[in-house]
Chains A and B, each alone.
Chain A
Amino acid sequence: MDLKTSDGSINRYLSMEYYATSSTVVPTYQSFGAVYIDQSDYFDSLSYIYQAFIMNNKIQLTRVLNTANPVVDWSFEFSEFTATEKTDDKWRRKEPKFITTDPTNPQVFYLSGRYQGKASVMQFTKKQGNMQWWTSFNQLTYIQSIIEVPGSSVFYGCGDYDVNDAFGTAITTTAYTAGIFKMDNDGSVKWFMRISGTNPVSSAANQDRCFGVTIDNEKTGKLTALLQVKMREVRSSTYNPGNYYDTVLM
């Protein structure tokens, strides 16, 4: 939905549907929030909607002309890594989560989330959807937050690393370490911070995750992170040493 910020009224409602949908062909869809409306394209000044979602377990990345009669300008379906993957193969796991932009380059956008089982950030051209680069994190599984920095080519993100990445393991019991990173618009990772503690309950898995990062601007040099952790090292002795999460602002 394209909403009018002043009063919340709906400017436009866009629903994407597989072209061959019928009573017997009904794809399954999943969306994670990867959407961006560009009100005025750098090249033709038109408005476009960029979005990524999953249809039948494959990532779809599309650019749609944002008019009363929307037109798909370009669209891609990401192929699976190999043809021999098992249903539970981690290479199948994906999560197109965020679409962000580069304040210093109006010709590109970023798609970030999880692809081929790993946290990933990709840069694409707006005009044709060409991939410029793709950075895949080998010690990060999910990206939970990503932020642009006003007027800067660098950006920050954070997430967590599912250490064992066992398919079907309950998210409440699997082991996690948190990760925070800084990237530049050439795809390079400037630094990576791994955060890990020990669960106050020794028999339970260590579970440290990161869900948010925020910054005023690059010049202040101060980044705040929202951590969700189970660390006996940082929990005050005032509180019960149980197997529950603490919220930490760092």
Chain B
Amino acid sequence: MFSSSQGLVKADNYHFFAGWAYGYQTNLQKLTKSSTTLDFDAYVYKYMFNHDQSYSCIYESTITANTMSGRVTLSVQSKIESTDMVTYYRDNSDLLRI
């Protein structure tokens, strides 16, 4: 599955995410396509966290917070600025344009 830019919105308790894929499989549907001659279709999924499992449609698994946090590095503002993670430009003339 590939995700699209700005591909996530939330409305009420539902998340909607979109992208494209060559084929897909859920508990209710299956579409098989060649992985060598790619033929993409767009998709939109509607998802709710902590949903009743009786409504489960897509194959999903929960990743523990500990597992995910091991893949994440969080930097706060002081570290961002002291380690040059960003460069700030504050003057209109910093942007060269005509």
Contact = CB atoms under 8 A, between A and B. Distances in A.
Interface string B73-98: 11111001000111111111011111
Interface in B25-71: 47, 49, 61, 63, 67-68, 70-71
**A contact patch SS:** strand
Interface in B1-21: 1-10, 15, 17, 19
Contacts of A248: 63
Contact of B77 (A191, A214, A238, A249): A191
Interface of B: 1-10, 15, 17, 19, 47, 49, 61, 63, 67-68, 70-77, 80, 84-92, 94-98
Contacts, number: 149
Q: Which 6 A-B pairs have the closest CB atoms?
A: A212-B8, A211-B3, A226-B8, A79-B96, A134-B89, A236-B61
B73 A249 contact: no
B96 A131 contact: no
6 contacts: A78-B97, A79-B96, A145-B7, A197-B71, A214-B15, A233-B70
A224 B71 contact: no
A86 interface: no
A76 B97 CA distance: 6
Contact of A194 (B6, B9, B75, B94): B75
A192 B80 contact: yes
Given A138-B84, A233-B67, A226 B96 contact: no
Contacts of B96: 78-81
B90 to A, nearest CB: 5
A216 B10 contact: yes
A190 B7 contact: no
A211 B2 CA distance: 9
